[in-house]
Structure 1
Amino acid sequence: MRIGLLGTGPWAERVHAPVLAEHPGIEFTGVWGRRPEAAAALADAHGVRAYQDVDELLAAVDAVSIALPPAVQPDLAVRAAEAGCHLLLDKPVALTVPDARRLVEATARHKVASVVFFTVRFGGEQAPWLAEQAAVGGWFTGRSDWLGSVFAPGSDSPYAASPWREEKGALWDVGPHALSVLLPVLGDANLVTAVGGPRDTVHVVLRHEGGASSTLALSLTAPVEAGGTGMELRGSAGVVHLPERGEGPVRALHRALDALRESARTGEPHPCDVSFGLRVVEILAGAERSLAEGGPVAV
């Protein structure tokens, strides 16, 4: 599979580009970015071509790996789908429901495969654990905490210079991760309530269609000493916790690329495709509305 990279920021530089360059079965074809000088530097570092015209890159590849802000991603992803390119997308797939729906429609119309890179869903220990808990069933309630310190005093995060994260906060940055692990186990949500906490912190309560409930605690401004992630499930099978992540996003992205290749080969949609990405955006938009208006919102 010939694949091009759209994006040149820290996520593209630290994760996407190295994985595309070393993944067996992938031909890393080139890089396009909104800053031509950054695209040239990243392409040169991996011995590939920097494209100044995005359509020229799309014509040269079978797929694209997108590492761009979520407000920018939908238009370029639709453009790639129209060019017949399979899509490896970042989360959230968009910042509005109409943009996410437009992306789903484009992939269906042009019959291209899609995978959204929810890192935990492609974790070596986490992915089989989630499948196991979904098979067990009988869960009464769940909890998913994503307390980051990107914008906390003393943080040295490379993502602190991200305007969209600063504007949209934890709900839209780490909220997708929390939903990506709760929904496949507890089922789809039909009601969401959100309450603001300190700084950008948001607490979200979901009612799931199967009768279970769950809570999410999300922040990008938690004190460095208080940061961390986790997931807990309680039900008739007892109390279980998501295995801690130890391998980082690089190995997970390799698995996401494998999933995209398989979906493109078979035509079978992956559980983390754009349709799931749309559902996550719909729930986040409902939580955002709940924050603004107060009270529960049907999703």
Structure 2
Amino acid sequence: MTLICARLSHSHYAGLMLALLAGVAILLPVSAQQSCDKTQTSQVQIKAGEQNMSRLTQAVLEHDTDARNIASTMGQAALNELAPLLAHQDVSIRLRAVMALGGVDILISKTALFSALDDADPNVMHAALAEIEQQQAKLSVPLLVGLLDRLQDDNAKNRLILMLGQRLDITQSAALEKYCNVDQAVSVALHSMAALAKIGVEQRRKQFSAYLLTIKDADTFAEAFQLVEYINQPWLVATLRQLLANKQQYKSLGGHFPGFPTTIRVCDAVVMLIGALLPQLTLSFDASVYANFSDEQIAELNYASAKVKY
């Protein structure tokens, strides 16, 4: 009824309406009435469909952070809804879909999650990597090696290389050796060197130690010291002690604790690194808390660390 009345209300039919209203009762054909009923029914169904939209899809589309918990509850059933959203034209929707996928066991979601590694937007791709990092222990080494071989982005490669450095043993080092050469980007080769050093490849340990002593650009220390923290093995102390005299300042990447300075002296960072690598040291000061350590404190740590056998 609403549809027909709307059509008859157009000015094109004004004359016909006046004639009918003047002397004839308006009678709707049965077919028109049925059509009107169907239209009304269709509209009701559409509204009902909107109201009954899956909570998961709605949460992703509305950028609701609860999408992850909903997906976790749904398990494998969530994939039917999230997989199509990974192809959405809106980058933010794809990003939310990846985050929601992270709530599903990676052994279930891996096909969909891995597809996001090919996303043209780096934020979506790195979000997928972050979810893989969180559940990496469930993935086999061959699978992680296969993922590394398909990645194109250097930063993504670096993250996966560091994951493998925590999973491989020295008999599996060939998987990373091919990334530790001059044909790779400098950053990729450096991360491969660090991962291989962590695994226990002696040649790479010597190379990484030598690299620390050749750094000229002060700001390069930020990335290098992050890799020192990643390796986290006492054999690094001998090299780090040689940097205790370096009072250059470099831009800190932060992340230590709130209020950590934006710039820090190399020697102060080294004091904290050695203190973390050798927690058994007995010192008159706390080497784990940032400070502009005095020359006396630096000398004390240098002497104490030189006596440690490792």
Global fold match (TM > 0.5): no
Answer 1 or 2: which has greater strand percent: 1
Structure number with the higher helix fraction is: 2
Which protein, 1 or 2, shows the higher relative CO under an 8 Å CA cutoff with sep ≥ 6?
1
Q: Which has the larger radius of gyration?
A: 2
TM-score if structure 1 supplies the norm length? 0.26
